[in-house]
Structure 1
Amino acid sequence: MRAVTVTPGVPGSLRLVDDHPEPSSEEGAILVQALAVGVCGTDHEIIEGAYGEAPPGERDLVLGHESLGRVLEDHTGTLAPGDLVAGIVRHPDPVPCPNCAVDEWDMCRNGQYTEHGIKALPGFARERWRVQPRFAVGLDPVLAEVGMLLEPASVVAKAWDHIDRIGARAEWQPRTALITGAGPIGLLAALLASQRGLEVHVLDRAESGPKPALAAALGATYHSEPVDQFGFEPDVVVECTGAPVVVLEAMCKAAPTGIVCLTGVSSGGRIIDFDAGALNRSLVLENNVVFGSVNANRRHWNLAAEALTRADQGWLASLISRRVPVDSYTDAYTPGPDDIKVVLEFAR
């Protein structure tokens, strides 16, 4: 069968393999026909050789962690043939740490987790894959065209879940939310903010292209000016860029008792002249919280599936800039100037 693979740590090793082995039954009882995988920045970094880890004893790694497939067989009865399904990316470590032991693998403490298409588990960019029932998320048929958005949606579902939990520390009635970054994560974070009835603001450098219209379609206000020029203080900030200046400005701009969730990963190596003491004073005196969030556990995947099912399906489809057939796989992994989400299709 066909699969898109790389040799981790070797730039330029992306290739389409025609004779990749069928998935082993050890991978899971549910056999799935791949429909599509989403392409994201993590894939680009793995292709560039920045990181990635092949399964034990293997040289190559099958890419793809944003999955959408259709069940071919499931002898456990968890799902039925024909059902839409997505595979949860992260698996708990084998030790396990206290969090992995209770299925909170997104909060793994020792770093020995594995991840499909990223770290030590084959990805979903292959014509057929298998998954264990506990890591299979059944999808409503309405998501047949956009179900590969579930993985990024699970990341922001976790972020909002933790925002809600932190907010419950005291009486808290948030009104405004600022989302920094209008990529897939940012726009999905804005979607979940709008579903919560918040006044949503989206910040991104792009002044043209599809991003302003996508934000407006959610009822959000779109900004391209620096955060420090805003005329309001957001109760919630979900930072999705990882850009150091934006991160710091967002932390400084939050309202009293505000919550700032950092989801963007900075590359490091950049030094900024910044008044850390002033930020510390503000955080302490205003009871603000800044926290980081990455990945998601089963509960968050379920929350994300519910959120996507409730969403306007036309709006979700408009997040997909390009749908590329697997035969043209290199086009899918070549970024375009107005891309938001590119999808590599295996079947329709």
Structure 2
Amino acid sequence: MRAITVVPGAADRTRLEERPEPPEDDGSVLVEGHLLGICGTDVDIVRHGYGTPPPGRPRLVPGHESLGRVRDAPPDSGLATGDAVAGIVRRPDPVPCPPCAVGDWDFCRNGRYTERGIKERDGFAAERWRADPEFVVRLDPALGDSGVLVEPASVLAKAWEQVTRITARSSARPRRTLVTGAGPIGLLAALLSTQHGMETHVLDLDDSGPKPTLVRDLGGFFHTGDVRDLGLVPDVVIECTGHGPLVFELCGAVAPNAVICLTGVSSGSHSVRVSADELNKEMVLENRVIFGTVNAARRHYEQAAAALLRADRPWLERLLTRRVPMGDFTDALDKGAEDIKGVVDLRA
């Protein structure tokens, strides 16, 4: 079968190659890959050396945003031939730590987890892949190609689960969300915000391309400029840029009791002068919370699939702006002005 392989940090060594069929010890469910979503993590792996191949091997099959169809599954798996599915990325550590032991591998305590296409385990950039049933999520066929968005949406489902838990500490219910960044993660964050009944605002650097219309079509409000000049006082912030200085600006621009969720990781080296004492005073006296979130457990994939199914199908399809064959995988790493989300067609 064909698979894309990379040497992390060596972009010129990315290639499409023939590989053996996925081994049965990868899992009892055999899946035919259809689409692979591309995100910033893939860029970091290919170009900046993030990620780790399986032990003893120099090359990694990338890809953690998957959509496929079941070719074979055990009778008691809850899956049947032809089912549309997405693969779960993280695998619990072998010890396991207390969170991994109960399925909360996204909160692994000892770091010995593995991740498909990222950390010590091959990903989904292959014509076929295997997984055990507990790491395969069946999707409603009505999602169509939009099912490839389940993995990134799972990160936001987890974020909103945590936001809901934290805001429950107060009798005052949050009403307004600010999402910073209008890339795929930001737009999915805005989608889930509207589904939570929030007045939703999205801030981005650029108002060209399809992003403003996509936000407005959700019933949200699109903004550019400095966060301090928006005239907004959000109760919830979903930060999707990973831009460190912006995080500090947000801490002083939110409502009392506000919650700021960080979903982005910066690869830059920006520095900013901050009054730590003033920041500490604001956070304490205003009951504010700032937290980070990464990855997702199985329930978050299921929540994401349900959220996408509630969304407008044409709106979701407009997020998939670029499709390339397997041989052009590296081309999908670069975005044009009109691009939101690039995907690789694993059948082409």
Cα separation, 1, equivalents of 2:254 and 2:97: 34
Q: Which residue in 2 is equivalent to 1:26? A: 25
CA distance in 1, matches of 2:289, 2:333: 37
Q: Does 1:311 align with 2:343?
A: no
The residue identity in structure 2 corresponding to 1:102 is V
1:296 aligns with: 296
1:132 partner letter: D
* Structure 2 unaligned spans of 5+: none
Matching residue of 2:208:
208
1:54-107 Cα offsets, whole Å, 9 max, x none, are 112222110110000000000243200000000000111111111111110111
Whole-angstrom distance in 2 between the partners of 1:338 and 1:45 = 22
- Is this contact kept in 1: 2:208–2:337, CA < 8 A? no
Counterpart residue identity of residue 30, structure 1: V
Q: How far is 1:270 from its partner? A: 2.2
What SS does the corresponding residue of 2:145 show, helix, strand or coil?
coil
Cα distance change, pair 342–101 in 1 and its aligned pair in 2 (3 A): same
Once the two structures are superposed, what CA deviation does each residue of 1:211-252 show, in whole Å capped at 9, x if it has no partner? Answer: 111111111110101110121210000000011122111122
1:100 alignment partner AA: C
Superposition deviation, residue 268 in structure 1: 5.0
Letter in 2 for 1:126: A
Instruction: Give the alignment of 1:1-348 within 5 angstroms.
Output: 1-17=1-17, 19-77=18-76, 78-267=78-267, 269-347=269-347
1:14-47 deviations in Å (ceiling 9; x for gaps): 1111x11110000110000000100010001100
| Number of corresponding residues | 347
Runs of 4+ in 1 over 3 A off after TM superposition: none
1:260-279 superposed Cα distances (whole Å, 9 cap, x missing partner):
10111122532211222222
CA RMSD of aligned residues (A): 1.3
Query: Normalised by the size of structure 2, how large is the TM-score?
Result: 0.97
For the 8 Å contact 1:29–1:76, the answer to whether it is kept is no
Post-superposition shift, 1:324? 1.1
SS at match of 2:12: coil
Unaligned runs of 5+ in 1: none
CA distance, structure 1, for counterparts of residue 246 and residue 75 of structure 2: 48
Determine if contact 2:89/2:115 at 8 Å carries over to the other structure: yes
SS of structure 1 residue aligned to 2:207: coil
Task: Between 264-273 and 245-254, report the one with greater CA deviation.
Answer: 264-273
| Contact kept? 2:35, 2:145, Cα under 8 Å | no
- The question of whether the paired residues in 2 share the 8 Å contact of 1:244 and 1:266 is answered with yes
